[in-house]
Chain A
Amino acid sequence: MGYYILRRLLIAIPSLLGISVVLFTVLALAPGDPFEELATNPAVPPEVRMALRAKFGLDDPVAVRYVRWITAMAQGDWGYSFVSRINVDQLILQRLGVTLFVIGSSQILALLIAIPVGVIAATRPYSVFDQIANTLAFIGFSLPTFFTGLLFILVFSIWLDWLPFVYQADIKAAGWRWYWEHIRQAIMPIAVLGLFQGASLVRYVRSAVLDVIRLDYVTTARAKGLGERVVIVKHVVRNALIPVVTLVALQMPAIFGGAIVTEQIFRIPGIGSLLISSILANDTPVIMAVTFVFACLVVLFNLIADILYGWLDPRITFR
């Protein structure tokens, strides 16, 4: 097991290196620089822009810049943002908490919806409940999150005036009010992401449960005279969830991607909105760092999915 993890981690290194080369080259080839506003402001002499470009090393060849970046990165120096001149790691850490909170809660919400609905739908296939659940699931994952986000704002903030649509990371309140305010502002973004995730998971849970429920051992369990509840919860769901768990782990990076748009719409100060604003500002060090973090997450969650799989299903061995 330990050997297996070590080997997987070692394999990850070249792939991450490859990813970083591709990212860096694409960014270096992309046109533009971070000084757009300086260019249109006549009060700023052009020498200032030239000096800044030289200072940030933007005039050096791509290969030189890449080597500089990768050696600094290897020593744990993530560089600093061209725009805010703050260390990139600091910038990311500041925002990581919010993103994890929103993504984590939406994932929990998705599972809370998907597992019961999927299981009930599978135990009564083609019933009215199943049909409705299916239809809603289709609608749910067909609607992109930026659309549902705007829709929610329109309905709950503007028509009904129930919820705020500007997210605040630090709320000035204490005790219960603090929790209440946090929940109130987080409901919409979490619901948008959670419902989208939940909708696609419902279909996986349903088909996984359907696969298992027809197996002989389930019939045996029923024949033994076990109650339906025990059969479903202890014997069916447990086995059916093995592929679902891997799926959830594999989808984590995709959720980070989905959160980017949602964060922008609700002004959530997370990693996603950081990525968008740095892309708009051509802030290369930040874009590199954030995309690199995402790349690491993909590799990491792939590994976690594989390990989880083996842990849940003892028939699988690591070699």
Chain B
Amino acid sequence: MKEHELRALIDNVKDGKLTRRSFVNRMLALGLTAPMASQMLDFCGVARADTKFNYKPTKRGGGGALRLLWWQAPTLLNPHFATGTKDQDASRIFYEPLAGWDSDGNLVAALAAEIPSRENGGLAADGKSVTWKLKQGVKWHDGKPFTADDVVFNWEFSSDPETATVTSGSYKDVKVEKVDDFTVRVLFDKPTPFWADAFVGTAGMIIPKHLFVDYKGAKSREAPTNLKPVGTGAFKFVDFKPGDMVRAEAFADYHIPNQPYFDTLEMKGGGDAVSAARAVLQTGEYDYAWNMQVEDAILKRLETGGKGEVHVVPGGNIEFIQLNSTDPWTEVDGERSSIKTKHPAFSDPAVRQAMMLLVDRKSVEDHIYGRTGVATANFLNNPERFNSKNTKYEFSVAKANELLDKAGWKKGADGIREKGGVKLKFVYQTSINAPRQKNQAIVKQAAQQAGIDLELKSVVASVFFSSDVANPDTYPKFYADIQMYTTTMSQPDPDRFMNQYCSWEVATKDNKWQGRNSSRFRNGEYDKLYKEAQGELDPVKRAALFIRMNDIVVGAENGTIIPVVYRPRAHSRSKTLRADVSGWDNDTWALARWYREA
């Protein structure tokens, strides 16, 4: 989709011919994120429909206990050290960012008085700064007032390399200054199209200055508040047992009237996903269970228990296959898969195209993931509704055979194709996880019919995803021909997501395999488009650039990436619970608005 087509669509939204939501859906189909789509609309002056939440309770409290079950237990409650979603989710009970993302990708103010825009003067015309007005009268759980100093402190805390925070990616390249007690300004050193990163969403939770000021840098671990959070959220801390249980109770001075509905909250952790689903769907011991990584058939059976149901919210996770651009079997200067080599078979576009035709995404969706994995040709996709030419995927063994025949790959005596001494025999690796192994088997079966032999390899997840430089089985090393995993795009802007195909990001021995580009994809046009997008302030132009980059990566000509299924976030919840869950933010981002209805 070209820029002018995008503009035409936006005009349709302006005229009311197209709803905001269906525009967002269409952008999702093109591989963009919902937050980016809504940013485009804002930029083009389409009036923002104030997000209305259906919240019925008319007074604070009275809702009794809310019981949450996270099958991975939270281990710490400082958002800046949160190693995983579980820790972020648990921290979000107590802490709030300036703004969060709703399920349509709109920014919703939490500690901010309003969302910065060009109209209200929040966004500078040169794209080099954003000014946040803070909500006044907000109190920390210990009664101290929340001010701009707290916000500035969070930037100092997180960007200090000595502190080694996991949020530093959002803070290290910006500067933050206090304008007055309730205004802060975030300064960028170059025009930045995506400004809603620092202080927003999962990485944006604000911790209190008065309790952390003595624990900056190397001493950060010793802060007592790491384990006894004092935030501004709707619930305040009662008890925490790392790896087991978080308890909280309603905060009487919460800054939004009539919220929260629940008097107490407990988040129990541990166990496994299936029994967590069971405790919500079948026995009703819990109200909400997170991240249902369970086969859909099992979920459906548990749902017949009648106590709860499974909900699916769109997010940015995608399960995809990478074809190695380099040769994993030749060692150059002490590293395999070196960019000095070329993959003997995948350097032929015919073989790559054949591989793309041999991934039976429909079967993967139907037989493995069900509601929790939707077949896709793109980074996000909904093929039934949007029949765009760049969102097509196909499964055809016959076509693959035809392609390979034409390209001169002949079947040998063992049924495996070869050309010039190169055999189509590949090692296909992924992490150990039941659906992934089934997925591998489906691909292997189809490939066999096309004369391609796949050797399946599975690596324990904690090894596959580790940054252990000494281990040959990690995914950044990619010592195999093909690999598959899920990449998360929880952050709302594709900028960092898409840098995983830039040539300077290739994981090599020189950067200790820390580069983000594990597929070793290199393409001059892609690099150019990416650099262009980084400085492009017009979100519509920028979106068009990202769509083109996406097409290069998954396209038949140059692409080495085969998206398999897009994995929306699934959770189980009690039938009486009304919860507002967004795929672009933490599950617990709107806990204050959760309530129960008989």
* Interface assignment of A80: CB less than 8 Å from any CB of chain B: yes
A169 CB contact (under 8 Å) in B170, B242, B245, B490: B245
B221 CB contact (under 8 Å) in A40, A44, A85, A91: A85
B242 to chain A, nearest CB (A): 4
Q: What residues of B have a CB within 8 angstroms of the CB of A51 in the complex?
A: 161, 164
A85 touches B76 (CB 8 A): yes
Complex formed: what's the CA distance from A68 to B282 in Å? Answer: 49
Q: Would you give the 0/1 interface string for B282-308, flagging 1 where the beta carbon is closer than 8 Å to chain A?
A: 110110000000000000000000000
A50 touches B467 (CB 8 A): yes
Q: Would you give the 0/1 interface string for A34-60, flagging 1 where the beta carbon is closer than 8 Å to chain B?
A: 111111111111111111110100000
Identify which of A133-141, A174-182, A274-282 touches chain B: A274-282
Identify which of A100-108, A156-164, A206-214, A239-247 touches chain B: A156-164
Complex formed: what's the CA distance from A137 to B514 in Å? Answer: 56
Question: Which residue of chain B has its CB nearest to the CB of A278?
Answer: B243
Q: What residues of A have a CB within 8 angstroms of the CB of B169 in the complex?
A: 43-45, 48
A165 touches B514 (CB 8 A): no
A33 touches B467 (CB 8 A): yes
A49 touches B514 (CB 8 A): yes
For chain A residues 83-105, which have a beta carbon within 8 Å of chain B? 83-86, 91, 94-95
A166 touches B164 (CB 8 A): no
A34 touches B83 (CB 8 A): yes
B466 touches A36 (CB 8 A): yes
Q: What residues of A have a CB within 8 angstroms of the CB of B487 in the complex?
A: 40, 42
Q: What residues of A have a CB within 8 angstroms of the CB of B166 in the complex?
A: 38, 44, 48
* Interface assignment of A267: CB less than 8 Å from any CB of chain B: yes
Complex formed: what's the CA distance from A16 to B207 in Å? Answer: 43
A31 touches B512 (CB 8 A): no
A42 touches B270 (CB 8 A): no
Identify which of B6-14, B322-330, B395-403, B457-465 touches chain A: B457-465
A27 to chain B, nearest CB (A): 13
Q: What residues of A have a CB within 8 angstroms of the CB of B264 in the complex?
A: 172
* Interface assignment of B523: CB less than 8 Å from any CB of chain A: no
* Interface assignment of A81: CB less than 8 Å from any CB of chain B: yes
* Interface assignment of A291: CB less than 8 Å from any CB of chain B: no
A33 touches B468 (CB 8 A): yes
Point out which of B75, B275, B461, B514 has the most chain A C-beta atoms below 10 A from its C-beta. B75
* Interface assignment of A145: CB less than 8 Å from any CB of chain B: no
A36 touches B462 (CB 8 A): yes
Known: A269-B245, A277-B243. A42 touches B285 (CB 8 A): no
Q: What residues of B have a CB within 8 angstroms of the CB of A161 in the complex?
A: 283
For chain A residues 269-298, which have a beta carbon within 8 Å of chain B? 269, 273-274, 277, 280-282
Q: What residues of B have a CB within 8 angstroms of the CB of A166 in the complex?
A: 69, 268, 271, 279, 285-286
A264 touches B271 (CB 8 A): yes
Complex formed: what's the CA distance from A270 to B485 in Å? Answer: 33
Q: What residues of B have a CB within 8 angstroms of the CB of A157 in the complex?
A: 283
Question: Which residue of chain B has its CB nearest to the CB of A280?
Answer: B462
B285 touches A36 (CB 8 A): no
* Interface assignment of B168: CB less than 8 Å from any CB of chain A: yes
* Interface assignment of B572: CB less than 8 Å from any CB of chain A: no
B517 to chain A, nearest CB (A): 11
* Interface assignment of B496: CB less than 8 Å from any CB of chain A: yes
B302 to chain A, nearest CB (A): 10
A94 touches B241 (CB 8 A): yes
Q: What residues of A have a CB within 8 angstroms of the CB of B515 in the complex?
A: 46
A188 to chain B, nearest CB (A): 13
Q: Would you give the 0/1 interface string for B180-205, flagging 1 where the beta carbon is closer than 8 Å to chain A?
A: 00000000000000000000001100
Q: What residues of B have a CB within 8 angstroms of the CB of A200 in the complex?
A: none
* Interface assignment of B500: CB less than 8 Å from any CB of chain A: yes
* Interface assignment of B444: CB less than 8 Å from any CB of chain A: no
A37 CB contact (under 8 Å) in B85, B161, B270, B286: B85
A39 touches B500 (CB 8 A): no
Interface size class of B (residues with CB under 8 A): 35 or more
Complex formed: what's the CA distance from A52 to B270 in Å? Answer: 25
B488 CB contact (under 8 Å) in A42, A91, A158: A42
Q: What residues of B have a CB within 8 angstroms of the CB of A281 in the complex?
A: 462
* Interface assignment of B483: CB less than 8 Å from any CB of chain A: no
Complex formed: what's the CA distance from A274 to B168 in Å? Answer: 29
A35 to chain B, nearest CB (A): 6
* Interface assignment of A144: CB less than 8 Å from any CB of chain B: no
Complex formed: what's the CA distance from A81 to B227 in Å? Answer: 13
Complex formed: what's the CA distance from A40 to B485 in Å? Answer: 9
* Interface assignment of A18: CB less than 8 Å from any CB of chain B: no
Interface size class of A (residues with CB under 8 A): 35 or more
Complex formed: what's the CA distance from A309 to B435 in Å? Answer: 54
Known: A32-B460, A37-B84, A273-B270. A42 touches B500 (CB 8 A): yes
Q: What residues of B have a CB within 8 angstroms of the CB of A282 in the complex?
A: 462, 466
Q: What residues of B have a CB within 8 angstroms of the CB of A170 in the complex?
A: 239, 241, 245, 247
B166 to chain A, nearest CB (A): 5
Q: What residues of A have a CB within 8 angstroms of the CB of B512 in the complex?
A: 50
For chain B residues 321-361, which have a beta carbon within 8 Å of chain A? none
Question: Which residue of chain B has its CB nearest to the CB of A283?
Answer: B75
A31 touches B268 (CB 8 A): no
Q: What residues of A have a CB within 8 angstroms of the CB of B388 in the complex?
A: none
A35 touches B488 (CB 8 A): no
A128 to chain B, nearest CB (A): 39
A269 touches B467 (CB 8 A): no
Known: A42-B488, A158-B278, A158-B283. A84 touches B467 (CB 8 A): no
A90 to chain B, nearest CB (A): 9
B488 touches A41 (CB 8 A): yes
Q: What residues of B have a CB within 8 angstroms of the CB of A251 in the complex?
A: none
A165 touches B279 (CB 8 A): yes
* Interface assignment of B165: CB less than 8 Å from any CB of chain A: yes
* Interface assignment of B491: CB less than 8 Å from any CB of chain A: yes
B164 touches A267 (CB 8 A): no
Question: Which residue of chain A has its CB nearest to the CB of B496?
Answer: A42
A43 CB contact (under 8 Å) in B170, B279, B470: B170
A38 to chain B, nearest CB (A): 6
Question: Which residue of chain A has its CB nearest to the CB of B226?
Answer: A85
Complex formed: what's the CA distance from A166 to B170 in Å? Answer: 38
Complex formed: what's the CA distance from A164 to B221 in Å? Answer: 37
Known: A37-B84, A45-B169. A269 touches B241 (CB 8 A): yes
Question: Which residue of chain A has its CB nearest to the CB of B476?
Answer: A39
A41 touches B490 (CB 8 A): yes
B168 CB contact (under 8 Å) in A48, A80, A83, A84: A48
* Interface assignment of B114: CB less than 8 Å from any CB of chain A: no
Complex formed: what's the CA distance from A158 to B166 in Å? Answer: 41
Q: What residues of B have a CB within 8 angstroms of the CB of A44 in the complex?
A: 166, 169
* Interface assignment of B81: CB less than 8 Å from any CB of chain A: yes
Question: Which residue of chain A has its CB nearest to the CB of B485?
Answer: A40
B83 touches A46 (CB 8 A): no
B489 touches A31 (CB 8 A): no
Complex formed: what's the CA distance from A174 to B417 in Å? Answer: 73
Question: Which residue of chain A has its CB nearest to the CB of B222?
Answer: A85
Q: What residues of A have a CB within 8 angstroms of the CB of B488 in the complex?
A: 40-42
Known: A42-B496, A168-B268. A35 touches B165 (CB 8 A): no
Question: Which residue of chain B has its CB nearest to the CB of A86?
Answer: B242
Known: A43-B170, A161-B283. 10 other contacts (CB 8 A): A43-B169, A48-B166, A84-B76, A91-B242, A94-B242, A169-B241, A170-B247, A264-B270, A267-B268, A273-B244
Kindly list the 10 A-B residue pairs having the minimum CB-CB distance in the complex, ordered from nearest: A46-B514, A269-B244, A84-B75, A37-B84, A32-B462, A36-B465, A84-B242, A32-B466, A31-B471, A43-B491
A-B contact pairs, 9 of them (CB 8 A): A31-B463, A43-B490, A43-B496, A45-B172, A157-B283, A166-B285, A170-B245, A269-B244, A273-B244
